[in-house]
Chain A
Amino acid sequence: MKKKRIATTSLAGCFGCHMSLLDIDERIFDLLELVEFDRSPLNDLKKFTRRCDIGLIEGGCCNEENVHVLREFRQNCDILVAVGQCAMMGGLPVMRNAIMHSDDPLRECLDEAFCTPKVLNPENQIPNDPALPLLLDKVYTCVDVVKIDYQIPGCPPSGETIWRALNALVKNEAPALEYDLIKYD
């Protein structure tokens, strides 16, 4: 069977989902029998080398770069999978969307983060290096921005969950995750 080509990325996430992928431990060798990795932080490839079968997205979109990368993934992957809570629902970053009854929610968020006396920032400087991507007005989930084919819930999804999902996807099946794997309370 031809190996499936996989790309992964972390947008507004914490890399926890990628860590969780590594939690499949020695099964990573079995995985490499089935797939080969294209663009991914795991191999530090920054660009797509060719079209991929599967794209795994960790994290939602909080800045313009996230949107740009996500659209590239959509363009270059046949199947796009939102992995983890941030990609699906926004996760922790989306808490800033709770500032909704403000005329200028983004400024309020930055003030809260950088200008309250709780942090040592005597000049109340808000980071604004030209190399920093512009923030979006609020945090968007992946499905707000592009079409997503599958979602794997969890914060993070366990290594086992990701392993089962990938196994199904390489066989061109929809990942059917058992209740125990996605039950978190």
Chain B
Amino acid sequence: MEHRKLIETSCSHFNNDPRRMLDILWQIQNSLGWISPDTMELIAQLTNTYRVEVEGVVTFYAFFMSKPQGQFVIHLCEDIIDRYAGMLPVQNAFEQILGIKVGETTKDGLFSLHLTSCIGMSDQAPAALINDMVVTNLSPNKTKILIRTLKKTRNLASLVKTFGDGNNSHELIKSMVNNNILLKGDVLLGDININAGLNKAFSLPPEEVIATVQASNFKGRGGAGYSSAKKWLAAAATQADKRFVICNADEGEPGTFKDRVLLTERAELLFEGMTTVAYAIGSQHGILYLRAEYRYLLPYLESLLTKRRNEGLLGTDILVDETENTRFSFDIRIQLGAGAYICGEETSLISSCEGKRGEPKNKPPFPAVSGYLGYPTVVNNVETFCNIPRIVDKGAEWFTSIGTPESSGTKLLSVCGDCTRPGIYEFPMGITLGEVLSLAGAKDPEAIQIGGASGVMVGRADFERQLCFEDLPTAGAIMIFSSQRNILEIADYFMHFFIEESCGYCTPCRVGNVFLKQGLEKIMAGKGETSDLKYLQDLGKTIIQTSRCGLGHSSPKPILSTMKNFPLVYAALLKEHPDGRQAGFNIQHALDESRIIAKRRSIVFDPDLGGD
């Protein structure tokens, strides 16, 4: 086989370990452009597993290609925000200038075009990835220029004329992405003293680090609002010879991009936070699970890890206490994801880190007890880890003085959609939605999607509510929709998103979401009746109750929350049919095929032949 040597090298680089399957596949795909059936066969032999296992992984992730691709693979973001920002004309421009449709490759083997879910650039939409390069603020014209330039130079770097602000212009990033930090708070985006928290933690016994965070009433920033300290206590209390600290940087929730900014501007704080938590629970190994969409940050992040290793902040024996005879070692590896929203769910993320399909695991056991490779594992998100050193440094009292009694600290919000100032805002917890909207310059806001696709859609009646755990919790996404937008179209897009991203393991989610979308489309087509609302409600409830993981627990929310908060939008489309006929059934359509095959018409249903 032609590429045998290369595949062997890639596999042996990761010790032929099937648990590093994602890394192996990335390395091979980076060289060969795709993963052929023969390649899968060979990888399976080398890693001592089965071909179907390898194929299972390849086909699970959107960014692994099982068909040959062009030299430049374009992933155009089809998120609802991008659509409203003009993504369809951009798609047309791509298709026109390349002469291909979505999913195809040009004959000269230069370009492939794909659509993808949110790539975390909603504040500079429409955006696309070309290989690992991000291109933002696209227009049909800009699209054509990009392609022409690429055809001429064959060099991705030639696409970036001006670099974005902050570290986006760093040597190792050199990206046109902008941070769009519009409000700096005291905890994360203001001036910080790097390593102050870690140094202070090292001066305390581990249990006191946890106690400080517990006293600060800090809750995880992923949206569920679970006390991080409790999670750590569980992991620390579980007897094991290894413990793992995993940072969830798989920010796939549509409309969210705060991790992108933290990874660009506060990556050291993040690594400091992971090290602090590792020290607190007695962990030796850390993993940063970076979503493939943010691959452009990988070289930069790797360089920071190297820097911290050189500074003695990562690696073997970074803290040695001779009197107590204790030694603390900790290092971090970066696991690159491959384009799967579900991997933002912690057990799926762990599956993915183990080199498997990113399918969720059963809970319990919770990861804190049995997680990565069966070891106690703490999974927190980027914002959570960034908070920790700050709390340890400045103390619990300082932290609780910010925010509300139940929700201390600040919250990063990714604001996008119909507003003049989309970007990142760091607000104290408890800010009202209305204040956020006015600061962001929301234009005629009618509906706000809080927390991305898996969050809720609220209307004007909720603008006075507070963004915090006790009122309106959010993982950080605020999508603003003006009165010009069709709320059902938005809910329909989110259903499309969930259908795409469902891992397919359990039936309620795999099948139920399709039924939900069909029900919604029936209403949008003006064929719905009042009874359809009850159907959607019951079906949504069933999916939430019977799905295995968070995806199915959230996927009905776009429909359920719009039904609750915008009942008139639905009511306006409903029509009762007193004759008892189902509006969704079209007899003429059902007979079309038969008329052609039988070469005759219907005596019953063709009116000119006397039918009704």
Identify the A interface with B (CB < 8 A).
Answer: 64-65, 67-68, 71, 74-75, 80, 104-107, 110, 126, 128, 130, 133-138, 140, 143-147
Shortest B609–chain A CB gap in Å is 11
- B1 at interface (Cβ–Cβ under 8 A)? no
The answer to whether B602 touches A64, judged by C-beta atoms less than 8 angstroms apart, is yes
A45 CB to nearest B CB, Å: 20
C-alpha gap A145/B591 in the complex (Å): 14
Q: Of the 9-residue stretches B29-37, B501-509, B593-601, which lies at the interface with chain A? A: B593-601
Please list the residues of chain B having a beta carbon within 8 angstroms of any beta carbon in chain A: 531, 579-582, 584-585, 587, 589-595, 597-600, 602, 604-605
A52, B590: Cα distance in complex, Å = 29
A75 and B590 in contact, given A65-B604, A128-B598, A134-B598 (Cβ under 8 angstroms)? no
Select one of A80, A110, A128, A133 contacting B604, CB under 8 A. Answer: A133
Residues of the B chain whose Cβ atoms lie less than 8 Å from the Cβ of A138: 590
Which A residues are CB-close (under 8 A) to B587?
A: 64, 67
6 contacts between A and B (CB under 8 A): A64-B604, A67-B604, A68-B604, A126-B597, A134-B595, A144-B585
Write the nearest CB–CB distance from B533 to chain A, whole angstroms: 15
Contact of B581 among A65, A106, A130, A145 (CB under 8 A): A145
Q: Are B591 and A137 in contact (CB under 8 A)?
A: yes
Residues of B within 8 A of A110 (CB): 597
A74 to B578, CA, bound (A): 10
Query: Whose C-beta in chain B lies nearest to the C-beta of A71?
Result: B581
Which residues of chain B have C-beta atoms less than 8 A from A74's C-beta?
579-581
CA distance A134 to B585 in the complex (A): 16
How many Å lie between the Cα of A130 and that of B595 in the bound state? 12
Partner of A146, one of B582, B602, B604: B582
Q: A145: nearest residue on chain B (CB-CB)?
A: B585
B359 to chain A minimum Cβ distance, whole angstroms, is 25
Inter-chain contact B600/A107, CB cutoff 8 Å = no
Q: What 19 additional pairs, Cβ within 8 angstroms, besides A134-B595, A137-B590?
A: A64-B591, A64-B594, A64-B602, A67-B604, A105-B593, A106-B597, A126-B597, A128-B598, A134-B591, A134-B600, A135-B594, A136-B591, A137-B591, A137-B593, A137-B594, A144-B582, A146-B580, A147-B531, A147-B582
C-alpha gap A131/B579 in the complex (Å): 28
**Cα(A133)–Cα(B605), bound, Å:** 11
- Residues in A with CB closer than 8 Å to B582 are 143-147
Q: How far is B594's CA from A135's CA once the two chains are assembled, in angstroms?
A: 6
Contacts of B605 in A (CB 8 A): 64, 67-68
Q: Give the distance in Å from the alpha carbon of A135 to the alpha carbon of B592 in the complex.
A: 10
Least distance between A86 CB and chain B CB atoms (Å): 17
